[in-house]
Amino acid sequence: MFEKILIANRGEIACRIINTAKRMGIKTVAVFSEIDSQALHVQKADESVYLGPSLASESYLARDAIIAACKETRAEAVHPGYGFLSENGSFCEELNESGIVFIGPDARAIREMGDKIKAKKIAKEAGIKTIPGYSEAIKNREEVEAIAECIGYPVILKAAAGGGGRGMRVAKNSDAIKDGFERARSEAESNFGDGRIFIEKFIENPRHIEIQIIADSVGNIIYLGDRECSIQRRHQKILEEAPSSFLDEKTRRLMGETAVKLSKVVGYRGAGTVEFVVDSSRNFFFLEMNTRIQVEHPVTELVTGTDIVEMMIRVAAGESLMLKQRDVQIKGHAIEVRICAEDPKRNFLPSTGRLISYRPPQLRKKNIRFDAGVSEGAEISIFYDSMIGKLITHGGNRDSAIDTMCDALDNFIIGGVETNRLFLSRLVRHPRFRKNQVSTNFFEEEYPDGIKPLKPSKRAIQNIGMVSAFVHQKYCVRNSEISGQIACAKPENGSEWMVILDKKQHPIGIEMLEFGFKASSGVTKKDFETNWKIGDSLFHAVVDDVTVYMHIERIGIGYKVLYAGGDYEILVLTPRQAFLNGWMIAKSPQDTSKHLHSPMPGLLTEVCVDPGVFVKAGDKLCIIEAMKMENILTAERDLIVENIAVKPGQSLSVDQIILTFR
């Protein structure tokens, strides 16, 4: 067994590998870029080595620097995690030439399966069904249009060296395919250094289901069940679960055997994932093989009781698999969501900044796991992926795992950057998800116009109103005691408040108790058992034997409340104040129609217009790159460009002016 390994990665996957290595008694070496000098993975490792500047190309992708770090620290092996150099055949070969073990497959398997075009050909030759399409690199726009017409729309363009949704575009007609081809090729070149694009038929309403395999060096290969990753946005997974509730046992076994068959063809070693597209009749088609550990591997670990990272390390050290296929048992159900620094209200644009508050859900329960890559005070930058960590729950069945996930997400405190936590809380409560009525089109079907404010239910209005009135009354009492004066008006007629929510007034009565309060709203009365105190951002109470979690923060004279996936602005007033508030004149929003503001922090890579140019609605104005994704800003209406305030290559902050119009 190895005495020391180097982790050629960062963030949560680096921390996750370090945890297993420490449990195995193996020393670890972390590598880091300039901006990651205080990162969590650096703190957790036994040793650390500086690689270079913050750009990935000058640090985490610098093969020579990583190999030098191995030699400097005498690390015997490298675990690449996922992303970065995890599927780089040349890096694998260079390590081997230096006498360092690559914890993963050999260079041949990486190249053959990492090249999506070659992988499809190998699968076809092995008698495995693949998605209809053209399995050669597309030369130009004219060729892609001709092939699309032949295959029939809709089609999907994919990067030959791609993964993680980068370099992928769906085209439903000839107009979409022209721009889609250029954007896919540009993104593929930017992310993988390989601009080759191929084309496939886009299967309508498919499910994305994958098989986890593990193989040793003497030909033993087993599959560790399946995972469903159908809920995606822009071809990037949002939520994963294991096992898939859609598959029957016969299809599950056939998919597992197919994954093992393909792995044997390429002489696979280590952990890998064979991904399939499954139609509504449970016909499955080979999609691709990822020759690395997957982001979503924890759900497989929870339902099989295995440690995939440990298995990878043992296989790389020359050990045979301890498990046989008959030993693999699936127990219960697991769900994983990715907590990311992105703003759902701004079309999931990246968010950067410092984590000023960060408290993951209580992990005392064995059925909650959180794989983190940050700690409170950490800086979220534009240079890397937006993922902060992965929240995973396990239950005896799917409903139990979902219920636990709802509570875990509602318990999660994170501030300083915008995140998708609230959206995920809303997602796992969605009726279609609950009923397992999903496909890879779920997001586009349910949120065609983006994420809109959630309309609160009658029960939500009651709980939000009652909690807000209680919190406000606590503040009033506290302020009065501190100053000797009444800092906010005492309740009229005892403890009557008017809560303004969703532009409507809701009368709430509050009666304070020693360990909570009683609240009334019309004929509805509820008892809240709570020990909440001023300063707590998370409100926790038991109401009629049901646990209620609510994030509540005082903003000016009002409150911001996050509850059950909803985001609400609240005012709590006395009845007299509420009457007078109805006569207040609403403030007009600022006119920003003559400016193009940056909707996110990022790098301005291209300005597509010049001063004095007339642009039409829908024309491209500029391209901003952030967290490895290209974002195109277009004109909302016909305009004339007056001035360009920034230059390509410049870093932008949120709301910074890029262009002015006249």
Q: Which residues are catalytic?
A: 288
Query: Which of 347, 359, 357, 299 lies closest to 549 in space, CA to CA?
Result: 359
DSSP state of 326: G
User: What is the CB neighbour count within 10 angstroms for residue 51?
Assistant: 22
End-to-end distance of the chain based on CA atoms, in angstroms?
69
Identify whether the C-beta of residue 392 lies closer than 8 Å to the C-beta of residue 371. Answer: yes
Q: Which helix (H) or strand (E) holds 122?
A: helix 116-125
Whose tokens are 């990037």? That residue is: 236
CA distances in angstroms from 184 to 114, 115, 191, 629, listed in the order given: 17, 16, 11, 11
Q: Which amino acid is at 201?
A: K
Identify whether the C-beta of residue 104 lies closer than 8 Å to the C-beta of residue 315. Answer: no
Helices (H) and strands (E) in the chain, counts: 17, 39
- Rounded to the nearest 10°, the torsion over CA 55, 58, 63, 68 is -120
Distance from C-alpha of 466 to C-alpha of 497, rounded to nearest angstrom: 9
Distance from C-alpha of 138 to C-alpha of 477, rounded to nearest angstrom: 70
Query: Which of 548, 574, 552, 571 lies closest to 561 in space, CA to CA?
Result: 552
Q: Which helix (H) or strand (E) holds 467?
A: helix 458-483
Q: What residues are paired with 597 via a beta bridge?
A: 657
Distance from C-alpha of 431 to C-alpha of 168, rounded to nearest angstrom: 29
Q: What residues are paired with 30 via a beta bridge?
A: 7, 48
Q: What residues are paired with 67 via a beta bridge?
A: none
Cis peptide before 243 (omega within 30 of 0): yes
- Rounded to the nearest 10°, the torsion over CA 324, 327, 333, 335 is -30
User: What is the CB neighbour count within 10 angstroms for residue 127?
Assistant: 8
Phi, psi of 250 (to 5 degrees): -65, -45
The burial of 93, by beta-carbon neighbours within 10 Å (0-12 exposed, 13-18 middle, 19 or more buried), is given as middle
User: What is the CB neighbour count within 10 angstroms for residue 554?
Assistant: 14
Distance from C-alpha of 405 to C-alpha of 551, rounded to nearest angstrom: 16
Distance from C-alpha of 157 to C-alpha of 207, rounded to nearest angstrom: 18
Q: Which amino acid is at 108?
A: R
Distance from C-alpha of 1 to C-alpha of 310, rounded to nearest angstrom: 11
What tokens were used for 288? 């691709």
The burial of 524, by beta-carbon neighbours within 10 Å (0-12 exposed, 13-18 middle, 19 or more buried), is given as exposed
DSSP state of 584: P
